[in-house]
């Protein structure tokens, strides 16, 4: 009673803590990235990725496709500007945006120079080559872009620069497509912001259809992906929990014929879930929605203890007290909880934060559930519920036990299963592609691809990261990377790239450009003036003198960041952090990753990254670590069991879980399922949950009359685990699906092999 009261007080305390957190607005994480490991090899890149996600997280791109998209775009931007959802909105070729660019960059034109003008000035006869370019522009079809500042900019430096940006910023220029860009006012991961934005988008689509029936509106950005992920997780958590709760309730009512055991079962599981959530939150500061989904699977594991206790109660003589039952099976239950906890602790050693959460959540939840069973159940269930149980219920498990009781038959069967398992394992395949962990709905991916293609086709998973120790060094590195990437682009290694070099010149490049210009124009000023006059341009010195060498950068990075010209670009600039200065260069259509890697290798501070292949390597590494930890967990459990049953006994008790793992992986390999980290972790769970069964049988061997109760408890446990994990095997979240598949199969085989140790232990007992 004392222990029961202590436990009740502890659970009440944790419930109060959780209530306070809920009142303060606690929401579980739904960002799938929160489950992935933080970049631990490069602190600046880790910080840069975080800053990039924060800055670009609010960016949205909308694509309107119609025969004449202009009216639809106008209506869309008007509606966006009047909505409080968006902080800023601009459209492709927005006159206000163009004016902002002109105002900001026109004074800096001589310091920036387009690549074409720079090439002309660096070659032989620079003045003639520059003026030839001016003539071609002025009298060519692009004269319309010359603008209205001919008197101030007779060398057309600004329009030349602006046309470089057009190539960089604009899409393919298809007149039937128009892009609108927006920055969210709120956080893309905020569930309310997501719901509002998705509802707004749906209304915008309806309004557009009314305006132009054949027009389509698509969008992309972090928000639509985060929303798709969150709604899927929420939906699945809902039906997974409901499915396992109803399934288990039905099972218990069927066997125990009384609602009391069912309520007690839920009481112990509820206490476990509550303690798991509260302690995870207190220890790690956050709980992910996937951890909750996983928690619904914990029901299957925690309910084992309740089932086992209740099975003993069900078959025990009526005069035996609840305390007596707890004392009788307490060792078996504690030993089994210890083995389960050992395997969950193994999860905690993987570097994935999501799994650390699950490890804490599960270990604490299971221990609490066990304590609730041992200390609360005797208090509530003094007498056997229901009437006598029909022997039909016990027959299948008794038949299974009898099958394994013949040592020779058991040895042959075990050897045969091991051989079949190994044969299957010979076809083992691994696939560590991170997309297997996070696979958004196909419709969302298609929409994203359509919008990205229209907006320049940048692939956010492939980029060059630049790092330097000062801002000026970083600006110069951007310029060197731009030169290098331009060469790689013309050799076909990639289709394009977006970097800030054309928008943010270094002081060195600015000074060099001014010098090139003044040298070219100053070498033969009379010829230059004559040629300008011939072209019909003002040859007066004022316009050219304005370009005279001037020290320093034409503007600071801070001033650039604070104006609207950096909208849509500023996420590339990470700037200064305690780990150094960083910037991203995003790539389009990478055809030759090796050439890119080599091209960046001898540029100090620049490095090509392919996130998909990096995560693939990372997950492969974690899969190997988890496999090692699984071996350690097996060894630890074996040592624990050997301490109680001796060396041979320990081996016999570990045999069912070893065989279950072997046959499960063998079967899945034979049917061609490629393994990843999640499958290995599923095996960790199988080990933790099913090591119990052999213990229950072996402990019952001391009181053979308890065999039917052990069989019933194990069968109910497996059935409940199958109900929860079997359901998550049907989940659309690949993470849960892989886990569920392994656990469902593994538990089924563990059940089949669970009486096997009895055959091998008899000798010791004899």
Partner 1 sequence: LASRGRIVFSPAKGIHRQIESPVSLELVITPQDILQRGADQKWKRIPAGRHPEARMMIESFLSIFSGDTGRWTAEFDLFFEGTPEKWSLGLAPRKGRPAARRLRRITARGAGPALTALVVEETSGARTETAFGAPKLLPAVPQDEAAKLFPTLAPEKELP
State which residue, 93 or 243, has the beta carbon closest to partner 1: 93
State which residue, 537 or 544, has the beta carbon closest to partner 1: 537
- State in angstroms the smallest separation of the CB of 284 from partner 1: 50
State which residue, 98 or 762, has the beta carbon closest to partner 1: 98
Buried-state track 607-627, b at ≥16 Cβ within 10 A, e below 16: bbbbeeeebbebbbebbebbb
Q: Nearest CA to 377 among 317, 322, 302, 318?
A: 322
- State in angstroms the smallest separation of the CB of 211 from partner 1: 13
Q: Which stretch binds partner 1 (CB under 8 A): 69-77, 343-351, 425-433, 545-553?
A: 69-77
Structure tokens at 536: 């019909």
CA pair distance 173, 195, nearest whole angstrom: 32
State which residue, 137 or 514, has the beta carbon closest to partner 1: 137
CA pair distance 452, 526, nearest whole angstrom: 50
- Judged by CB under 8 A, the chain residues 91 through 150 that form the site for partner 1 are 93, 95, 115-116, 119, 132, 135-136, 138-145, 147-148
Contact predicate 302/351, CB 8 Å? no
State which residue, 136 or 705, has the beta carbon closest to partner 1: 136
CA pair distance 646, 631, nearest whole angstrom: 20
Under the binding rule (CB under 8 A), the answer on residue 71 touching partner 1 is: yes
- State in angstroms the smallest separation of the CB of 237 from partner 1: 47
- State in angstroms the smallest separation of the CB of 502 from partner 1: 13
Structure tokens at 276: 């798991």
State which residue, 39 or 592, has the beta carbon closest to partner 1: 592
Where does 57-94 have alpha helices with state H? 70-81
- Which of 5, 16, 38, 70 is close enough to bind partner 1 by CB under 8 A? 70
State which residue, 525 or 536, has the beta carbon closest to partner 1: 536
CA pair distance 105, 504, nearest whole angstrom: 10
- Judged by CB under 8 A, the chain residues 719 through 758 that form the site for partner 1 are none
- State in angstroms the smallest separation of the CB of 70 from partner 1: 5
CA pair distance 280, 291, nearest whole angstrom: 10
Helix/strand/coil for 467: strand
State which residue, 181 or 308, has the beta carbon closest to partner 1: 181
Give me the residue label for tokens 């109803």: 246
Helix/strand/coil for 113: coil
State which residue, 140 or 628, has the beta carbon closest to partner 1: 140
Q: Which stretch binds partner 1 (CB under 8 A): 66-74, 205-213, 335-343, 356-364?
A: 66-74
Q: Which stretch binds partner 1 (CB under 8 A): 27-35, 65-73, 466-474, 554-562?
A: 65-73
Q: Which residues contact 257 (CB under 8 A, 6 or more apart)?
A: 385, 386, 387
Q: In 256-349, which ranges are E strands?
A: none
State which residue, 159 or 729, has the beta carbon closest to partner 1: 159
CA pair distance 237, 235, nearest whole angstrom: 6
Q: Which residues contact 673 (CB under 8 A, 6 or more apart)?
A: 679, 741
Residue 497: Cβ within 10 Å count: 25
- State in angstroms the smallest separation of the CB of 65 from partner 1: 16
Give me the residue label for tokens 């960089």: 168
Burial class (CB in 10 A: 0-12, 13-18, 19+), 405: middle
- State in angstroms the smallest separation of the CB of 461 from partner 1: 25
Q: How many residues bind partner 1 (CB under 8 A)?
A: 33
- Judged by CB under 8 A, the chain residues 155 through 184 that form the site for partner 1 are 163, 166-167, 170, 172-173, 175
- State in angstroms the smallest separation of the CB of 536 from partner 1: 4
- State in angstroms the smallest separation of the CB of 688 from partner 1: 59
- State in angstroms the smallest separation of the CB of 99 from partner 1: 12
Q: Which residues contact 749 (CB under 8 A, 6 or more apart)?
A: 659, 660, 663, 664
Q: Which stretch binds partner 1 (CB under 8 A): 68-76, 370-378, 620-628, 728-736?
A: 68-76
State which residue, 95 or 578, has the beta carbon closest to partner 1: 95
- State in angstroms the smallest separation of the CB of 135 from partner 1: 4
* Cα radius of gyration rounded to whole Å, the chain: 34
Query: CA 172, 175, 176, 180 torsion: positive or negative?
Result: positive
Q: Nearest CA to 689 among 637, 623, 631, 616?
A: 637
Give me the residue label for tokens 């007080």: 9
Under the binding rule (CB under 8 A), the answer on residue 495 touching partner 1 is: no
State which residue, 70 or 647, has the beta carbon closest to partner 1: 70
- Judged by CB under 8 A, the chain residues 519 through 558 that form the site for partner 1 are 534-537
- State in angstroms the smallest separation of the CB of 161 from partner 1: 13
Applying CB under 8 A, the residues found at the interface with partner 1 are: 68, 70-71, 74, 93, 95, 115-116, 119, 132, 135-136, 138-145, 147-148, 163, 166-167, 170, 172-173, 175, 534-537
């Amino acid at each position: 009673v004392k222990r029961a009261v202590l436990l009740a007080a502890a659970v009440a305390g944790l419930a109060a803590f959780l209530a306070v957190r809920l009142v303060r607005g606690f929401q579980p994480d739904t960002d799938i990235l929160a489950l992935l490991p933080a970049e631990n090899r490069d602190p600046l890149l880790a910080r840069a990725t975080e800053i990039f996600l924060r800055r670009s997280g609010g960016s949205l791109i909308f694509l309107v496709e119609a025969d004449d998209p202009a009216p639809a775009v106008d209506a869309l931007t008007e509606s966006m500007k009047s909505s409080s959802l968006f902080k800023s909105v601009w459209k492709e070729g927005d006159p206000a945006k163009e004016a902002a660019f002109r105002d900001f960059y026109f004074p800096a034109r001589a310091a920036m120079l387009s690549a074409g003008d720079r090439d002309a000035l660096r070659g032989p006869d620079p003045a003639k080559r520059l003026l030839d370019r001016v003539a071609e522009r002025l009298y060519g079809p692009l004269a319309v872009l010359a603008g209205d500042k001919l008197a101030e900019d007779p060398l057309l430096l600004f329009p030349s620069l602006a046309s470089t940006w057009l190539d960089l910023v604009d899409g393919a220029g298809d007149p039937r497509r128009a892009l609108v860009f927006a920055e969210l006012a709120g956080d893309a991961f905020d569930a309310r912001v997501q719901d509002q934005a998705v509802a707004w988008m749906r209304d915008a689509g309806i309004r557009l259809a009314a305006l132009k029936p054949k027009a389509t509106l698509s969008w992309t950005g972090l928000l639509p992906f985060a929303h798709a992920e969150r709604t899927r997780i929420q939906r699945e958590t809902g039906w997974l929990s409901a499915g396992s709760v109803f399934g288990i309730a039905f099972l218990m009512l069927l066997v125990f014929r009384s609602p009391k055991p069912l309520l007690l079962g839920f009481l112990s599981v509820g206490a476990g879930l509550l303690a798991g959530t509260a302690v995870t939150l207190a220890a790690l500061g956050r709980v992910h929605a996937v951890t909750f989904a996983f928690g619904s699977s914990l029901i299957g594991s925690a309910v084992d203890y309740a089932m086992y206790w209740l099975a003993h109660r069900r078959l025990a003589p009526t005069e035996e007290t609840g305390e007596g039952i707890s004392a009788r099976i307490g060792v078996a239950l504690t030993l089994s909880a210890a083995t389960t906890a050992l395997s969950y602790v193994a999860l905690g050693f993987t570097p994935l934060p999501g799994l650390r959460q699950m490890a804490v959540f599960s270990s604490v939840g299971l221990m609490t559930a066990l304590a609730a069973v041992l200390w609360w159940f005797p208090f509530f269930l003094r007498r056997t519920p229901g009437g006598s149980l029909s022997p039909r219920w016990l027959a299948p498990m008794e038949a299974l036990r009898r099958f394994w009781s013949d040592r020779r038959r058991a040895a042959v069967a075990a050897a045969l299963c091991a051989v079949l398992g190994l044969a299957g394992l010979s076809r083992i395949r691994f696939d560590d592609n991170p997309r297997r962990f996070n696979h958004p709905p196909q419709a969302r991916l298609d929409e994203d691809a359509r919008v990205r293609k229209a907006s320049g086709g940048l692939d956010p998973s492939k980029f060059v990261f630049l790092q330097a120790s000062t801002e000026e060094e970083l600006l110069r590195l951007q310029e060197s990377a731009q030169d290098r990437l331009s060469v790689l682009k013309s050799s076909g290694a990639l289709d394009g790239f977006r970097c800030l070099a054309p928008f943010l010149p270094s002081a060195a490049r600015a000074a060099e450009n001014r010098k090139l210009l003044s040298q070219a124009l100053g070498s033969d000023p009379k010829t230059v003036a004559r040629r300008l006059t011939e072209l019909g341009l003002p040859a007066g010195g004022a316009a050219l003198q304005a370009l005279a060498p001037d020290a320093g950068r034409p503007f600071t990075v801070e001033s650039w960041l604070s104006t609207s010209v950096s909208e849509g670009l500023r996420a590339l600039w990470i700037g200064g952090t305690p780990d150094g200065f960083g910037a991203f260069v995003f790539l389009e259509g990478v055809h030759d990753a090796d050439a890119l890697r080599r091209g960046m290798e001898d540029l100090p501070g620049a490095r090509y990254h392919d996130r998909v292949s990096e995560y693939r390597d990372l997950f492969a590494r974690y899969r190997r670590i988890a496999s090692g930890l699984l071996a350690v967990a097996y060894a630890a459990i074996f040592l624990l069991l050997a301490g109680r049953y001796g060396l041979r006994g320990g081996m016999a008790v570990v045999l069912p879980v070893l065989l279950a793992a072997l046959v499960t992986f063998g079967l899945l390999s034979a049917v061609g399922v490629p393994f990843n980290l999640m499958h290995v972790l599923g095996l960790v769970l199988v080990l933790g949950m099913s090591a119990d069964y052999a213990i229950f049988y072996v402990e019952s061997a001391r009181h053979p009359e308890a065999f039917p109760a052990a069989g019933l408890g194990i069968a109910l446990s497996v059935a409940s685990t199958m109900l929860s994990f079997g359901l998550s095997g049907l989940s659309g979240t690949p993470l849960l699906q892989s886990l569920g598949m392994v656990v469902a199969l593994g538990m089924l085989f563990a059940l089949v092999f669970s009486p096997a140790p009895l055959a091998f232990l008899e000798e010791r007992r004899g």
